[in-house]
Structure 1
């Protein structure tokens, strides 16, 4: 979808955003921006979310904002989920997916070794939190777990040598393929669970 932003910039007081469609200008605090990422505010505007993440990073670099450990996990989880969705969109495009209410919408799709599945930013974040973060909290104390999770997510991304943009690393790509292939394999063997389960 087309960006809602005309201009976005980190400032000492927060992120200054000029919106399209005469919606004006808004200032949002860094913690509020991170909450918006987590709550799915940018799920239909991933490029805008990436710009928000970039401005949060700029503010951190300039000393205007210090993320808590939990906020760092939220930002990196959002970023990895976004990179995965973007990669799958580039590889496989979209399909018309039927929603619970019977209507259809365009959605990204993952196609792997055992079949394909529709993917959404929210379900990707849930899968990362459930599988990757869940294992870290089982193995480490809360303080150490946050640090380990951020490091894991950072290893799942890398700068593209051609343009400097972030993309999934080979390890990140393989890890997410294993996660999704495992889910698809389970559904193929056992069918869909009775209650909806996000993956």
Structure 2
């Protein structure tokens, strides 16, 4: 959700104005984001929001059923870390898809009809670029799996990520094989779901 909230507005804004200063600024920020590893982003967020500003806890995990407020506060930094790590990749894809769709003949026709810019961007351009975003979301599951390992260790969260690290440290090969199998099945299922969703959104990619 964090990645989509960042990537969609940035990608649409850059794609609707290719070559502009806004496009250059977003593209530059995207390159910085792609080059920055997740553990470095998480450390910076922890230093800023937990230690400097003291608005959220730095580490720990509390089940939502035990303390909903503290659980959500402890989720902020891990969610931001994973979301900001994935958003540059999604933003770049959205920008490319939107810029490509914006060159289609129906876009100048919609402008000639006097439609508002936001309506053209959302109702016409982004709607036709949506299948590309859905396909990209399936591919980000690999980044989420790898990022979850870093985030769980960095923010001291219990989960399969820390389980992987512990299994590697203890040389528990059976557990490592089981976790790799689980991750592989999850990757296949998510990608299959994204392909099916893309077919529903775009009739051109449906199988006969």
TM-score (normalizing by structure 2): 0.30
Higher helix share: 2
TM-score (norm 1): 0.31
RCO higher in structure (CA 8 A, sep ≥6): 2
More strand by share: 1
